[in-house]
Amino acid sequence: MHYPPKIFSLPAILGFLLVFSSNVIAQDGTIYPLETPAEPKAIPLGTGGVENQPASETWFKQWGDPMARNITTATLTPFFPEPGTANGATVIVAPGGGFSWLSLGNEGWEVAEALAKQGITAFVLKYRLNPTPESLEDFTAWMNRPRTAPAPSSDSSQATAAPRPPQRDLSNQLEDAEAAYAMIVKNAKEWGVDTNRIGMIGFSAGAGLTMHSTLHSKTMKLAFIGPIYGGMGPVEVPENAPPMFNVIASDDFLFQGQTGLIESWYKAGRPVEFHLYQNGGHGFGLGNPNRTSNRWFDAFIHWLDVNKFLEAKN
């Protein structure tokens, strides 16, 4: 398998998230049908549908994790801390799935539950997705279709001349993220949210959406961000960009020795913490057995604490 060149833009990062995450995931687990859950706590965001989407939302299970595809109605699901334990800090959680499905179990609900146990109010963002084949059989075949990508250039000065992957239109997903942020701000008093401490973390494609929101949103004022095993290419950092906590494993296909995103934040003079783990692969969520990356969540909570994001405000 080949990987992206050393230097590429955010749209290129997002394109590779779609190309590679679906390829790797399809090869590693059998897909099973799953009845659509009720999701009684999910709040519709009212951001519209998806063009050219004839299929309805359906769910499947892989590695025991529930996943949704053909999402046309974006929702926000709250996970509140136990009464008396909330500190006001709030996190929007964006699961991954190559913008074609969402891994709502290990990259959404489980993460939100872990945050709530730390006194952090968490919201899982179920954002709209690109259309996939309606039947599960056709979807599985689509997931397993052959893919190719440009080989990396050994000469970084020639990297920009390499073929570029397809760029993604994330206007729907950005609109969903902005609507989620606006809903949280609007209900801040009722939900116990400190509007000065709303952050966003995302996994894989969700990390791409987190970065896209940070770089392009005109309405979201994120206090901190946590892209988890997302693209690592350099970006143009906005003035007063939020502090960033970044995690990836060295055996993740998205890494390939790239640290451009970290360097961009550092050179812009913005706070950044970077955890490169020996192993963990891609899509590990809170962790898999016997991987060094399993302690990333503890490090994230410590980082939030040291940076005073967890201090309850009176």
With 50 as the cut, is the pLDDT of residue 27 above it?
Answer: no
Name the β-bridge partners of 124: 77, 93
Spatial contact of 65 and 103, defined as CB atoms under 8 Å apart: yes
Q: What does pTM read for this prediction?
A: 0.87
pLDDT for res 299: 98
pLDDT for res 186: 98
Tell the CATH topology of 10-151+164-306.
Answer: Rossmann fold (3.40.50)
By mean pLDDT, which of 40-54, 149-163, 292-306 is the weakest?
149-163
pLDDT for res 167: 60
Q: How confident is the model at residue 5 (pLDDT cuts 50, 70, 90)?
A: very low
With 80 as the cut, is the pLDDT of residue 151 above it?
Answer: no
pLDDT for res 33: 94
pLDDT for res 10: 47
Spatial contact of 224 and 40, defined as CB atoms under 8 Å apart: no
**What is the percent of the chain with per-residue pLDDT over 70, rounded to a whole number?**
84
Higher pLDDT, 146 or 160: 146
Higher pLDDT, 10 or 218: 218
Spatial contact of 213 and 177, defined as CB atoms under 8 Å apart: yes
Spatial contact of 247 and 228, defined as CB atoms under 8 Å apart: yes
- Where does residue 64 rank: exposed (0-12), middle (13-18), buried (19+ CB within 10 A)? exposed
With 50 as the cut, is the pLDDT of residue 174 above it?
Answer: yes
Name the β-bridge partners of 91: 122, 199
With 80 as the cut, is the pLDDT of residue 150 above it?
Answer: no
pLDDT for res 29: 78
Spatial contact of 174 and 213, defined as CB atoms under 8 Å apart: yes
pLDDT tens, 117-149?
999 999 999 999 999 999 999 999 988 888 654
pLDDT tens, 222-277?
999 999 999 999 999 999 999 999 999 999 999 999 999 999 999 999 999 999 99
Q: How confident is the model at residue 160 (pLDDT cuts 50, 70, 90)?
A: very low
Mean pLDDT of the chain: 87
By mean pLDDT, which of 7-16, 85-94, 290-299 is the weakest?
7-16
With 60 as the cut, is the pLDDT of residue 23 above it?
Answer: no
**What is the percent of the chain with per-residue pLDDT over 90, rounded to a whole number?**
78
Average pLDDT over residues 16-21: 42
pLDDT for res 147: 62
- Chain center to CA of 163: 25
Average pLDDT over residues 11-39: 61
SS3 sequence, the chain? CCCCCCCCCHHHHHHHHHHHHHHHHHHHCCCEEECCCCCCCCEECCCCCCCCCCCCCEEEEECCEEEEECCCCCEEEEECCCCCCCCCCEEEEECCCCCCEECCHHHHHHHHHHHHCCCCEEEEEECCCCCCCCCHHHHHHHHCCCCCCCCCCCCHHHHHHCCCCCCCCCHHHHHHHHHHHHHHHHCHHHHCCCHHHEEEEEECHHHHHHHHHHHHCCCCCCCCEEEECCCCCCCCCCCCCCCEEEEEECCCCCCCCCCHHHHHHHHCCCCEEEEEECCCCCCCCCCCCCCHHHHHHHHHHHHHHHCCCCCCCC
Distance CA 209, CA 127 (A): 10
Q: How confident is the model at residue 165 (pLDDT cuts 50, 70, 90)?
A: very low
Residue type, 6: K
pLDDT tens, 55-95?
999 999 998 899 999 999 999 999 999 999 999 999 999 99
With 50 as the cut, is the pLDDT of residue 104 above it?
Answer: yes
